[in-house]
Structure 1
């Protein structure tokens, strides 16, 4: 069974004619007939009822979706190979960091590499680890240190520490003293918003949930909207609510009996050989610029590593 046989089969089904299908494929009718006979012999069935119009047998109707699936897969593979020829980069990032880290860096990267395809996948820690494990992505942005047992041989290129402040709506903040206790805060909010920013939840965040009258576990988008409406408070990664804080839509508070929280993340690769691709190394360098804007850089190995593999 080969693709020429399958394409001929599909074309005859579409045109209901060997003659028209042969003309479309720019082959002789004898060649079209020969391909179908060979296919039928291979499958051990008759695919067409031949007559003034050509129709499918029951076996042909059963085989048709499988044939088209094979043709479609071959086309997808061919397009993927064409994209690789002109350049392709695939990275995976924690969902909360796609917007603050990737948007501007991608714009600068595309100015330098306008013909390169870029794929950015987002997800939770375990999903990014799985993408790296399966080599679906070349670089990942995830919590650090990585505790996922699926993949333990990751090489950190840059480690960033970002604040995770406790925020409330301004109408709630206005009713609080300058340095409130957590009990005073909880008296004014109906619920605590729990967001899974960490691989292992810090005791401070877990204690807040235990003390609350009610809590809700939400993704960033709906959690942010709940906080904006004054319906809860929660620990938000600073970059996720920076615009809201700057505009006064949310207010950071620092209860006297709760210590500040942070989250460490890293850009990682499976092997330093990934940096041998100048395109990928340049994209990582652009992302590093954005990392420095939103957090404190704890470890930057890019400058030391790049010359060694260049």
Structure 2
């Protein structure tokens, strides 16, 4: 199985047309067909339904897509690591929950550069489920996430608890919060569940958002009320005419670190975790 066969397969997934893929990859249509036939022979299944309307992936093709993308990702990471081998003393790939790009992540990156001055460092922000998948496939070394997905090869450790408080551009007390302009926090399963239990009157508000940054942007644009991470809430109230809502309960979100169990005691992993704890300590001071 060759990588150009994988790349051709993934391009057809996007283009839904053999001729269009041939143009995009600057190869002939017969080369595209040959590559796909070879790939189908290798996996033992038809990957596309061909017709006048184009090419639609079969059930097997849709199933194979995730593996194809993982193979390209692994190859790309392998090339990077090998190229970096002679220049750097190790490579570390880390990621944190999307919502932590303004809190933990910047301090973690700064600390990583200090404790690993000769290492190559790759940083991402993503969602829990994808980070767990990347860890299990070896495409990530350390993740900071909200929702553990328990797999035998991955170990989790409690890192911290984040506090969320309600902020409003209109209401000073929770009794004044208007459900029509309230944004329900759909950021995590834990927050949604806790919110429903503690504030049932606002659990049926019409607007819910899964992005904290989007919720803040809407508050700036149209006004209203929503939950924010406590440090973001302090910054927001300092920048905009708004209030911390009295009587609104604080919501708590546990945060975990995740890594492959077999790599937990590797020196570069231990240093990466040490940098993470330094970043968390700096947030608490």
Is the TM-score greater than 0.5? Answer: yes
Q: TM-score, normalised by structure 2?
A: 0.63
Gaps spanning 5+ residues in structure 2: where? 5-26, 39-73
Q: Give, in whole Å, the separation in 1 of the partners of 2:32 and 2:133.
A: 38
Does the residue aligned with 2:208 lie in a helix, a strand or coil? strand
CA contact (8 A) 1:93 1:121 kept: yes
Aligned to 1:237: 229
2:220 corresponds to 1:219? no
2:195 corresponds to 1:192? no
Indicate the RMSD between aligned Cα atoms, in angstroms: 3.8
Q: 1:194 to 1:109 in 2, by over 3 A?
A: closer
Aligned to 1:107: 110
Q: 1:78 to 1:59 in 2, by over 3 A?
A: same
Q: 1:112 to 1:243 in 2, by over 3 A?
A: same
Aligned to 2:83: 82
Q: 1:57 to 1:156 in 2, by over 3 A?
A: closer
How many equivalent pairs are there? 223
Q: Deviations over 1:221-255 (max 9, x none)?
A: 22111123453322222244442234455432132
1:101 Cα deviation from its structure 2 partner: 1.3
Q: Which has the larger radius of gyration?
A: 1
2:132 corresponds to 1:129? yes
CA contact (8 A) 2:108 2:276 kept: yes
Q: Give, in whole Å, the separation in 1 of the partners of 2:175 and 2:154.
A: 42
Aligned to 1:159: 159
Does the residue aligned with 2:203 lie in a helix, a strand or coil? helix
Q: Give, in whole Å, the separation in 1 of the partners of 2:76 and 2:127.
A: 31
CA contact (8 A) 2:99 2:212 kept: yes
Q: TM-score, normalised by structure 1?
A: 0.58
Aligned to 1:286: 275
Aligned to 1:27: none
Gaps spanning 5+ residues in structure 1: where? 7-55, 67-72, 297-310
Does the residue aligned with 2:244 lie in a helix, a strand or coil? strand
Aligned to 2:203: 210
CA contact (8 A) 1:163 1:238 kept: yes
Q: Give, in whole Å, the separation in 2 of the partners of 1:75 and 1:98.
A: 24
